[in-house]
Amino acid sequence: MGCLTRLIVVGVGGFSLFYWWQPWEFDWQERPAPKSNPAFDLTSLSLFSPERKVLIVTAHPDDTEFYIAGTLLRMKDAGVQSKLVVTTDGDKGYYPFEDAARNRRIRQAEQREATTAWGGSDTIFLGFPDGQLTTSEPLIRAIQREIEIYLPDVLMLFDADPPPRASHADHRRTGEATEIAAKRSGFPLTLMRFSTMHGNAFIDVTQKWDQRWDLLAIHKSQFTDLAMGRVRGIIVGSATTAGKRIGVEYAEPFRVTTLPGVRRADPAPSLPTPETPTPPSSEEAPKTPPEGGPDSQYL
């Protein structure tokens, strides 16, 4: 084997090992858009109503504040009932030199503070390993159990069909598992998928633009001044693009569909407690408008 060939083999092997180890995924070929993705009439949903119950399912502490902070602040002002479920423990344990226990304790405390700031009633950590999620039966059952306990009208989740071409694997697995859990629950639900490339509904967050940065800043362990500059550019770019769709300065995009089902009157979970990882101890984790008219597709 020649020197050049060996270098190529070593290079390809090294890249493959690195790609397998790190938690991000990239679709080398763009996935097709959803077959049916008509504009969704958000006015029919009455999202910003005190009667509405919203369950948000994310992968990590800080996901809600990164992707949908403006929407959450508007929900708080409207008196919407909301609750957060985070699938991982947020410890970044896949990095070899991280203090996983410290990360877990700090990041979970930051998320609880942020949830309170945007009006959520509770934050539930399912405790699955950060950076190592699979669309497993225990994960699906754990999410389904939270749906059956809370009985939401609206479920906010990562868009996994398709996800952004470059995205965290935990986001993809959380979105996939939440979709399956929602269908299994048999409840009538409106699914509002964020981190989407195929938004069919847009929420105007211009009036909450300054406040949304205050929420993100709660996650001091994750967003240093240097990191915040890069993150701000990503968020501004996405919100500006979405805003142009509905003729406002800033908006947050969602891909919205509905699931038929039967509404149950009282929370009586049909599932046994799923086998999820042992949660951390209390010492570690203290608790121009599109067609259809401007009013039909955004709020």
Taking the domain 51-262, which CATH number applies?
A: 3.40.50.10320
Q: What is the pLDDT of residue 298?
A: 63
Looking at residues 125-145, what average pLDDT do you find? 96
Return the residue matching tokens 């009013």: 295
Average pLDDT over residues 21-35: 76
Closest CA to 186 of 298, 87, 271: 271
CA distance 239 to 204: 9
What is the residue whose two structure tokens read 């979709």?
179
In this prediction, residues 7-36 reach a mean pLDDT of 66
Which class for 227: exposed (0-12), middle (13-18), buried (19 or more C-beta within 10 A)? exposed
Length of the chain measured in residues: 299
Query: Among residues of the chain, what percentage have pLDDT more than 70?
Result: 80
Nearest to 109 by CA among 82, 139, 86: 86
DSSP state of 218: T
Task: Give tens-digit pLDDT for 51-69.
Answer: 999 999 999 999 999 999 9
pLDDT of residue 273: 55
Structural domain spans, the chain: 51-262
Enclosing H/E stretch for 20: helix 3-21
Q: Apex CA 217: angle with CA 213 and CA 220, to 5°?
A: 165
**pLDDT tens by residue, 211-246:** 999 999 999 998 877 677 889 999 999 999 999 999
Residue 283, pLDDT > 50, answer no
DSSP conformation letters of 257-292: EEE-----SS----SPPP--PPPPPTTTS---PPTT
At 197 the pLDDT is 93
Question: What pLDDT does residue 297 have?
Answer: 57
Burial (CB count within 10 angstroms: exposed 0-12, middle 13-18, buried 19+), residue 277: middle
The predicted structure's pLDDT at residue 33: 82
Which run of H or E residues covers position 169?
Answer: helix 169-185
Phi, psi at 150, each rounded to 5°: -85, -30
Distance CA 103, CA 90 (A): 7
Q: In this predicted structure, what is the pLDDT of residue 150?
A: 97
